[in-house]
Structure 1
Amino acid sequence: MKWERAIAAHVDVQDDLGRRAFAMKATGDRILQETPSAKQRAAGLTTEGHSEIRVEMGDETDWYVVLSDDRGDKAAAAIEYGRAGYIDPDTGERYGGTEGLNVLHRATGGKLAKRGKVKLPVTRKRRKRRGWFVT
């Protein structure tokens, strides 16, 4: 473990990791700014600039490339992985699903695997569980 930590903390290794992290950030920024489809361009839909790619440094040796969105509500996860459509149980209003942009995955050069959409929580009343009682 001491050797691994010493190698990871070496100046040349840290320089290379920093270069790679900022290269991924540049690629991610480019992907994030692209308009995904011609339909959205025709409809006048553009990005509002809430999302950004950041490079953060961890303890001594860790580098993180992060998709951040200041809106919250799992917006960064929905941008990366997509969102399933749903119907609001209170109003009956329909919300359409979206395909994920896979910004971080594409920025790292990783292969895209088919995965599920991010499901936003819908508040529902749950039944209370009945437990065993010892008398």
Structure 2
Amino acid sequence: MAEIYDQIGGRKIGKWLAVHDGVQAELTKRAFEIAVRAEEILVQHRADGHAEIDIEAGDNNRYVILSDDRGQKAALSIEYGREESIVVREDKHGNKYLDVLPAMDGLYVLATASNLPKKRKGKVKLD
């Protein structure tokens, strides 16, 4: 009967595979391809926004990120859209007023670039 080992060189097989040079190179290549497609989609819709596509490297993973840190911090709304909402704003003189943010369909930049299904996230309750 064959004996099956769950470790190679003291590492679990999954971890050993994840850190393999060929696997890491393929992850980098795929993340770059997705980022290029995402940037192409984002550029088609950008008027004067500050959103951008970034790639982050984790220990064994790569992450393609839609970032709007320089702009209105609206990356979630850009990806999934938003419902109409009323917000309280304040002008430079300290006067408060109500402003209506119109509904917006999501662009699904990351989902489209990654060939993933476009799913709108459920409502999130903010405390």
TM-score of the superposed pair, with normalisation by structure 1: 0.70
- 2:104 aligns with 98
Contact between 1:28 and 1:106, CA under 8 Å: does it hold in 2? yes
Structure 1 residue ranges without an equivalent (≥5): 36-45, 124-135
1:80 to 1:118, Cα distance in 2 relative to 1, 3 A: farther
The total of aligned residue pairs comes to 110
Q: Within 5 Å, which residues of 2 pair with 1:56-67?
A: 56-59=56-59, 61-67=60-66
1:70 to 1:88, Cα distance in 2 relative to 1, 3 A: closer
Q: Which moved more, 1:47-56 or 1:4-13?
A: 47-56
Indicate the percent of aligned positions where both proteins have the same amino acid. Answer: 40
Q: How far is the alpha carbon of 1:117 from its aligned partner?
A: 6.7
Q: CA RMSD in A?
A: 2.5
- 1:17 aligns with 27
Q: How far is the alpha carbon of 1:86 from its aligned partner?
A: 1.4
Q: How far is the alpha carbon of 1:116 from its aligned partner?
A: 4.5
d(CA) in 2 for partners of 1:114, 1:97: 14
1:110 to 1:12, Cα distance in 2 relative to 1, 3 A: same
What amino acid is the match of 1:9?
V
Q: How far is the alpha carbon of 1:70 from its aligned partner?
A: 1.8
TM-score of the superposed pair, with normalisation by structure 2: 0.74
Contact between 1:82 and 1:117, CA under 8 Å: does it hold in 2? no
d(CA) in 2 for partners of 1:49, 1:19: 27
d(CA) in 2 for partners of 1:64, 1:83: 24
What amino acid is the match of 2:52?
E
2:93 counterpart of 1:75: no
